[in-house]
Amino acid sequence: MSAAPLRVAFDATHARINRTGIGRYAQQLLPALAARDDVDVVGLLAPGTGATGRAQHLLGVARRDFAYYPAGLAHRARAARADVIHCPTSSPAHSAKPPLVMTVHDLLWLRMPQHFTPAVRAYHRMSVPAVRAAGRILADSDATRADVIELLGVPEERVVTAPLAADPRFAPREADRDLLRARFGIERRYVLAVATREPRKNLNALLDAFERLAARVDDCDLVLVGGKGWSSAELERTLEATDDRVKVCGFVSEDELVALYAGATCFAFPSLAEGFGLPVLEAMACGTPVVSSNTTSMPEVTGDAALLVDPTDVEALAAALERLMTEPVLANGLARRGLERAATFSWERCAAETVAAYRQLV
């Protein structure tokens, strides 16, 4: 006889408010859990989620971090008769009953604090006691799991790796050159980068590498996707001074992003450090050859399906991009291996690892 389904109170707040990797994680994991017959998922939202206007937004943040997570989430989970709470990102959430599972996407603010503002570090620090007290911690990668154990002193048996996956819409397709031309002004071959414009993403190094690449390869552009982050003033000034071979697209829709992956000659991800590196997996799932950093979780995600370089070595980055621009046999081989590698990650697998952690705890 099969065990009764677990009733899971899932904090869906960040699935609603966050457009970056944390929000995408929650958006993809929720339906993967809901598709299973061994869990019954109840989605919970912090009060004020989706509020418009600066004053309402600030009030919502205060209520979320100083009332909902410390007490309200557990209260509402008990009212829903949940067996377990899942908070899909580090937060000041506390609960002994029902027990709490928390996902930690990275501890890079501790590993390399110089790349984060004091406010960001303070915000994350507020969550540390709750993370340490959680009954189970899910980590996106073995690299993040090791950081949780080392930097927070959490016993290793309480930390479980549950790798992420790409949305199924990230898949090979024919490049829509008309859309790329009309929507983004892209006429030539291009290197694609997807990242928030903040210091850790190392986009200044990518711009320097592209300048070297453009001197060697005539018919190529650099296309940047992603919004502004903190401490990006210097980068923004540099971008304003670049010519039309560097195209800054900002946030784009999911369908536009798939089209950009499909049309790219190669994908560049020179980040200094990542908890997982979801854009790399998305690019591989689309059949786009990848140049990535050789640090933290990136080798774990790419396996042998990408060119890995030291992200601080601008010439190595430029040379790797040049190889993918000028060596079609290499590029095609990496694209094929990337598809095979991406297929080993799935949200069904992530959900299975997540439910196993629920059951271990309950």
Q: Where are the domains of the chain?
A: 6-165+346-361, 177-342
SS3 29: helix
pLDDT given at position 52: 67
Closest CA to 15 of 58, 46, 38: 46
32, 41 in Cβ contact below 8 A?
A: no
CB contact burial 166-201 (16+ within 10 A = b; e otherwise): bbeebbeeeebeebbeeebebeeebbbbbbbbbbbb
CA distance 266 to 305: 13
Q: What is the pLDDT of residue 132?
A: 96
Q: Are 185 and 223 in contact (CB under 8 A)?
A: no
Does residue 179 register a pLDDT over 70? yes
Domains 6-165+346-361 and 177-342 share a fold: yes
3-state helix, strand, coil in the chain (%, to 5): 50, 15, 35
Mean pLDDT of 71-99: 94
Q: Is 129 helix (H, G, I), strand (E, B) or coil?
A: helix
Residue 57 pLDDT exceeds 80? no
Res. 1: pLDDT tops 50: no
What crossing angle do the helices spanning 278-285 and 328-342 adopt, rounded to 10°?
A: 110
pLDDT in the model for residue 51? 62
CATH of 6-165+346-361, one of 3.30.470.20, 3.20.20.140, 3.40.50.2000, 3.40.30.10: 3.40.50.2000
Cross-strand bridge partners of residue 308: 292
Residues 6+ away with beta carbon under 8 Å from 273: 106, 108, 111, 112, 200, 293, 295, 296
> What pLDDT, on a 0 to 100 scale, did the predictor assign at position 5?
92
Among 3.40.50.2000, 2.60.40.10, 3.50.50.60, 3.10.300.10, what is the CATH number of 177-342? 3.40.50.2000
Residue percentage of the chain with pLDDT more than 90: 80
Q: Which residues contact 32 (CB under 8 A, 6 or more apart)?
A: 347, 348, 350, 351
Q: Residue 109 — φ and ψ, nearest 5°?
A: -65, -25
pLDDT at residue 270, rounded to an integer: 98
The mean predicted confidence, pLDDT, of the chain is: 93
User: In this model, does residue 19 exceed pLDDT 70?
Assistant: no
Q: Please give the angle made by the CA atoms of 299, 302 and 308, to the nearest 5 degrees.
A: 60
**Between residues 62 and 103, which one has the greater pLDDT?**
103
pLDDT of 103 > 80? The answer is yes
Question: Is the distance from CB of 231 to CB of 203 less than 8 angstroms?
Answer: no
Say which residue, 161 or 119, is predicted with more confidence.
161
Contacts of 237 (CB under 8 A, 6+ apart): none
Is 329 exposed, middle or buried, given 0-12, 13-18 or 19+ CB atoms closer than 10 A? exposed
Packing angle of the helix pair 21-34, 347-361 (nearest 10 deg):
80
The CA distance from 287 to 110, in Å, is 34
Considering only CA atoms, which of 270, 276, 288 is closest in space to residue 337?
A: 288
- Mean pLDDT for the stretch of residues 180-193: 95
pLDDT at 22: 79
In the predicted structure, residue 58 carries a pLDDT above the cut 90: no
Q: What was the pLDDT predicted at 227?
A: 86
SS3 8: strand
- Mean pLDDT is lowest, of 9-18, 63-72, 116-125, for 9-18
- Name beta bridge partners: 69: none
C-alpha to C-alpha distance for 10 and 134, rounded to whole angstroms:
15
Contacts of 53 (CB under 8 A, 6+ apart): none
CA 271-348-281 angle, to 5 degrees, is 20
